[in-house]
Chain A
């Protein structure tokens, strides 16, 4: 314990949650396809394609079961520039969080863009998937996006 101030006793600790989460059939299928290097979404009854595959239509709450393949390339709809990553960030260098709408999808997905510098980022820019070296069935199988 720190003893710098006798009226202030503090102690560092790490809280760890090591849960395994069941994916269910829809998210499980999306992640299985991702492991194979393919990106799929789900189609709603009014024809919109949601990526990553959503279990339910966020508007109507209908269960979604029809899978649709989408492209590895898309467009940045908005972004934020993280000049100083915090410890949890997966990219330990300046990067962007972005919403990326893949070609064939109707809603953008949240991920990261490795563009090197803020000046290389702009809304509307085209980006493509950079696959992780080892894919294991996780949203992080997409390591990030990079300028196309």
Chain B
């Protein structure tokens, strides 16, 4: 028997590239406010929709959005899913609820977690309120809100 190694059938070509991400003007404003514990979106001058987080433009109307609108940290679950499998790089242990949450006064849902409730009791239309992390942990991130929790009596 020969101990000739097997012929080459594949190669590893690792590609690693460094980037310096820039948040964008609108998202920067949003992140600067959320660092202060405020949720500030933008209103479209065309259709009057309020977007959180804002993108500096209305994707429906194709026009810039500049008017800032502060909104409350409370809204309803528009849709949700229970995540049962671990997601690589995500420290949250499954099962957990990822939900589209429509904050009061806004017209586009934002994605966040729902917790402090039995996953089986989460439902579309459920009223939820932000559970903020301790103020000393606030940074330029939507994760200043740890998750959303049910509003009592809802």
Partner-B contacts on A (CB < 8 A): 1, 3, 6-23, 28-29, 31-32, 35, 87, 137-138
Complex Cα distance, B9 from A29, in Å, reads: 8
CB closest residue in chain A, given B32: A6
User: Which one, A8, A16, A137, contacts B11 given CB within 8 A?
Assistant: A137
Q: Are B11 and A31 in contact (CB under 8 A)?
A: yes
- Given contacts A8-B28, A28-B9, whether A13 and B21 have CB atoms under 8 Å apart is yes
Mind listing 17 A-B residue pairs with CB under 8 Å?
Answer: A7-B25, A10-B21, A12-B21, A14-B16, A15-B18, A15-B19, A16-B14, A17-B14, A18-B14, A19-B15, A22-B9, A23-B9, A28-B9, A31-B8, A31-B11, A137-B8, A137-B11
- Given contacts A14-B18, A14-B19, whether A32 and B140 have CB atoms under 8 Å apart is no
Question: Which range contains the number of B residues in contact with the other chain?
Answer: 20 to 34
Interface residue? B5 (CB, 8 A): yes
A127: min CB distance to chain B, Å: 24
Complex Cα distance, B10 from A138, in Å, reads: 9
Q: Are B139 and A21 in contact (CB under 8 A)?
A: no
Residues from chain A with Cβ under 8 Å of B140 in the complex: 1, 3, 9
